[in-house]
Structure 1
Amino acid sequence: MTTPDTPKPIDVEALLAIAARFATQDNRCTAHAAFHVQRRTRTVGLDPNLLDDPDAILFVEQGEMVPSDHWKPLEQAFQNDTPSITVDETEYTLSELDRYGFMLAWETVQVCFTEQGALDYLRADGHNISRDGEPRIFVESFHRNAEMIEFRDLIPFLPDLLASHKRLAEVEAQLAELTAAVLAFREADLAIDAKDSTLRIKDRLVLTTEKLDDLSALADRLRALGEG
């Protein structure tokens, strides 16, 4: 049974693809580049008389927001003291409308190490963050974020680390096989009295033990590389 905290098997191909993209991507002249997926957010209810932007004013009619393409002509009518106006065949009485200022801002919803990662996220979930306009990818920096910089700096070494991980698994499998062989040879040595057969078994035992020592040393080096 798996739980949300159960580690998943390493997707080697996916990690190698990330490393390849990382090595060739345009970081927009930004050190420790972080690709932010951002959506537009709208803060409503501001005093329209305190805003400098005439395009940052919206209108509400009976609790329902008026279509955004009607806001500008309605604001012009308000400034001209026009009591009523028709926009796209919709009649408005300005005294029946509520007028509010609003402010747009960009909000980060995801951060990726690569631009392709950000694009993949938008393809998967972009439809959920497009309420107030199309989302964007904006490059910031992990500057002074030591934890993220450590992970980011690890990416170029993923191919070597994964190769070492694979080689270590192979070496450990060989170690297990040879250890079993050594035990089998020792048991055979005790069971056989014939001098020539015993010598042949002892020769094989020496060669196998030497190979076992070499593989053990290689495994130690690979483990040290992984820990480093």
Structure 2
Amino acid sequence: MCNTAKDIWKTLLITYQGNNQVKDNKINLLVQQYEQFVIFKEESIDSAFARFNTIITSLKALDEGYSSKKYVRRFLRALHLKWRAKVTAIEESKDLTSQSLDELIGNIKVYEMIIKKDSEIVKAKVERKSLALKAKKEYSDEECSTSGSEDEEYGMVVRDFKKLFKRRGKFMRQPQNDKNTFQRSCDDKNGKSDRKCFRCGDPNHLIGECPNPPRDKNQRAFVESSWSDSGEKDDEKVNN
């Protein structure tokens, strides 16, 4: 649609800059962004400079720009408070009227690398200290749990021993021979024994110990062969 180079130039100006009203609005918006430009605490210098460079380049494209000295001062004011020491050192040691924005960015980037390295060293020390405290706490907890388990095990052993001791004391049985002897002696003391001398009927001795003579020879033979053996067995039981 354009017949001459002048028409093409006007079309390009309107397309990318707009008319005078549009141009003024864009300039006002960019100036506002320039004045309110702020560098965040965790933002890197490269990222901040990229945003700042976009603003000042757009202003230059609209025939609205500032001097290099104003750019330097504006960028220093936009830095976060953590850069305050570096900003003060630059303002005191450097001539800002002769320093370019590129030189300022290079100087600040070197300081950024130093701060990052120091931060990593401090972070590593804190992590090592945290790990040491955690290991110490775990060792202390393990020692306490071990001591507690040992005390608990000792208490269980003592309780089991007491239970076993009570059980054995309650259900302890005497040997069979001793029990029979004890029962027989008790019966003898209480007069409950039915054993007595077959010859004279005296309960204080057996027929083998009877002082009375036998009535006939058959009785003597019978006593010597049978009742004396039974009496000896009884006597052995009593002795046992």
TM-score band, normalised by shorter chain: under 0.3
More strand by share: 1
More helix by share: 2
Q: TM-score, normalised by structure 1?
A: 0.26
